[in-house]
Amino acid sequence: MTATGPPAIRIGQGFDVHPFSGDADRPLVLGGVSFAGVPGLAGHSDGDVIAHAVTDALLGAAGLGDIGQHFPDSDPALLGADSVGLLRRAVAALHDAGWYPQNVDCTVVLEEPKVAPRRAAIEARLGDAVGAPVTVKGKRAEGLGALGRAEGIACFAVALVARGAPAAGGAT
Ligand SMILES: [Zn+2]
């Protein structure tokens, strides 16, 4: 061991899954973008599975626990909450701890709707909240299992964070 001090970069991983809601009036929100005419996901908040996976990846990278600790689903104040707002609060917690997101990459697993037409809007909304590039890829489950039967939507995310302190002068 020749390194001194804590590492300057860390990686985090997040996963989330929500079933579709039976409530036809509940909108589908993915990455802070609403999809009209598509059934929404069940959840205490707005059920934004992408925003939740991104939040968990960032919190994990910074060693700050998970989304359930920061935003418990038993909190009535979070009923129907805008999950991008929760993501912004998580990013603020990272900043307080000296960590700054570098990029986040996501794979959202769903049969429908198609993500590609809204991908740029999702990436822009999440990138603004995170303060770093966020990339999103849609992937079908090819008919396999609950996701393949379109019973819900899942999302995987990985995040890279770096210490916000200026680069150490004099290091070679
Ligand atoms: Zn969730």
Q: How many Å lie between the centroid of ligand 1 and the Cα of residue 4?
A: 37
Phi first, then psi: what are they for 120, rounded to 5°? -65, -40
Q: How far is CA 156 from the centre of its chain?
A: 8
Sign of the Cα torsion 69, 124, 140, 148 reads positive
Residues, CB-to-ion distance under 5 Å, ligand 1 = 16, 52
For the CA atoms of 118, 124, 130, 131, the dihedral, rounded to the nearest 10 degrees, stands at 170
User: Rounded mean pLDDT of the chain?
Assistant: 91
**22: pLDDT confidence band, cut at 50, 70 and 90?**
confident
Distance 129 CA to ligand 1 centre (A): 17
pLDDT in tens, 74-96: 899 888 889 999 999 999 999 99
pLDDT tens-digit series, residues 106-161: 999 999 999 999 999 999 999 999 999 999 999 999 999 999 999 999 999 999 99
Q: Is residue 3 predicted with pLDDT exceeding 80?
A: no
155 in helix, strand or coil? strand
Nearest to 23 by CA among 41, 35, 37: 41
Round to whole Å and give the CA distance between 56 and 86.
Answer: 11
pLDDT of 6: 67
**Distance, CA of 11 to CA of 104 (rounded, Å):** 10
> Would you say residue 38 has pLDDT above 90?
no
For residue 168, pLDDT beyond 90: no
- Quick one: what percent of the chain has pLDDT higher than 90? 79
Q: What does the pLDDT read at residue 171?
A: 38
Sequence-distant (6+) residues with CB within 8 A of 158 are: 11, 12, 13, 14, 57, 104, 105
Report how far ligand 1's centroid is from the alpha carbon of 155 (Å): 9
Grade residue 165 by pLDDT with cuts at 50, 70 and 90: low
* Least confidently predicted of 4-8, 99-103, 120-124: 4-8
Please tell me the least confidently modeled range out of 12-16, 111-115, 134-138, 163-167.
163-167
DSSP string spanning 30-92? ETTEEEEEEEPBP-SS---HHHHHHHHHHHHHTT---HHHHS-TT-GGGTT--HHHHHHHHHH
